[in-house]
Amino acid sequence: MAQRTSDNAIGVRRLGFGVSGPHGTPLVHPSLTADLIYRAVDRGVRLFDTGPSYGAGEAERRLGEAMRRLPRHDCIISTKVGLSSSGLARRIRDFSPEGVRKSVEGSLKRLGMKRIEWLLLHGPAPSEITDDLLKTLTDLKRKGDIAVLGIAGRGPELEAALATGQFGVFMAPVHAALKPYDLARLARIRATGAEIVGIEALAPALPRFPAPVTPGATWRLARALAGRFGAHAPTPMTPEECLVWALGEGGAHRVVVTTTRPEHFDANVYAVTTPSTGRLIGGPSSLS
Ligand SMILES: NC(=O)c1ccc[n+]([C@@H]2O[C@H](COP(=O)([O-])OP(=O)(O)OC[C@H]3O[C@@H](n4cnc5c(N)ncnc54)[C@H](OP(=O)(O)O)[C@@H]3O)[C@@H](O)[C@H]2O)c1
């Protein structure tokens, strides 16, 4: 079902793979995470998103390990800062200059890389985007530890980041059940030339409380029961329709999707490379 890189290289560049959630836990064997990463690179996917809070660094370690085993590649590795976990599902917030420096150092080590292509603030409150934080991030950029600064959020923190003029990547929910003011915010961000990376794109296609029949569904059920459910979208759509919508009407330049199932991964590649993506808007000129 899936098409290979050469069939639609631009389309597939708009799909990112999320090495997160179950990929940081024993629900998924590290070899399955690695196989999905190899599969993604083989299909032409070049964006991989992870973060130190996913499994207390385990997801970053898995991504770094898999990348080291691949021949030279031009992948964008996106990781985050500001949230970490102790391994017991306890989340720790720290956007202090010292905390940020320490977190970046840890991410570089776990990923086995000299530079982080995209460093995203992980869900800061608007008040946490301080001058001290921005100065620290600028210093890290100057030092060469990070290339592009971004934010992963879902509310006014996105506007706060936009107002600083220092953020190039905005990772946020993009799906057909978003409220008009969320869509308007995305349109304002997009109009500045920043890159919109859609998450929760499949929300309208997924049950709110899934039966725990796959590691991915088990993870989502646990998250929903813990009250950490991000999106609930009542409009039923197929996963393919969701991806086409996010990259078309939704205005996302790219979407990041996670899965624990190779057949789901291939279906997602197919969705972004199929002729129906003729409806897609163009990506930013930086799309690589
Ligand atoms: N949500 C957030 O709060 C957040 C915040 C920051 C960054 N991110 C990034 O965004 C990525 C995506 O996370 P998300 O929360 O937005 O979840 P999502 O990728 O929209 O959905 C993930 C779920 O969809 C299922 N799935 C994937 N492809 C499918 C298909 N073709 N058909 C049916 N089911 C499919 C997966 O289950 P199976 O394993 O069974 O396929 C998984 O449970 C993360 O990996 C992370 O990198 C998310």
Query: Does the residue 241 lie in any domain?
Result: yes
Strand, coil or helix: what is 47? strand
Q: What is the mean pLDDT of the chain?
A: 89
Residue 62, in any domain of the structure: yes
pLDDT (0 to 100) of residue 91: 79
Q: Is the pLDDT of residue 235 over 90?
A: no
User: 7 pLDDT exceeds 70?
Assistant: no
Classify 102 in phi/psi space as left (phi over 0), alpha (psi -120 to 50) or beta.
Answer: alpha
Residue 202 CB–ligand 1 contact under 6 Å: yes
Percent of the chain with pLDDT over 70: 88
Query: Domain tally for the chain?
Result: 1
Residue 1 lies in a domain: no
CA 200 to ligand 1 center in whole angstroms: 6
Between β-strands 146-152 and 116-122, what pairing exists: parallel, antiparallel or unpaired?
Answer: parallel
CA atoms in the 13 A half-sphere facing the CB of 225: 10
Which residues span the domain enclosing 22?
8-276
pLDDT at 6: 38
C-alpha 155: how far from chain center: 16
Tell me, yes or no, whether 23 lies in a domain.
Answer: yes
pLDDT of 3 > 70? The answer is no
Mean pLDDT across the stretch 104-111? 98
- Rounded distance from Cα 97 to ligand 1 centre (Å): 30
Alpha helices, DSSP H, located in the chain: 9-13, 30-43, 58-69, 97-111, 131-143, 156-164, 180-191, 215-225, 239-247, 262-273
Whether 80 is covered by a domain: the verdict is yes
pLDDT score recorded for residue 153:
97
In a domain, 87, yes or no: yes
In a domain, 14, yes or no: yes
Beta-carbon count within 10 A of 104 CB: 21
- pLDDT-based confidence at residue 221 (cuts at 50, 70, 90): confident
Instruction: Give the position, in ligand 1's atom list, of the atom nearest the Cα of 215.
Output: 39
* Span 140-173, pLDDT tens digits: 999 999 999 999 999 999 999 999 999 999 999 9
Q: What is the CATH number of the domain that holds 189?
A: 3.20.20.100
Q: How confident is the model at residue 271 (pLDDT cuts 50, 70, 90)?
A: very high
- The answer as to whether 286 is a domain residue is no
Comparing 84 with 163, the larger pLDDT belongs to 163
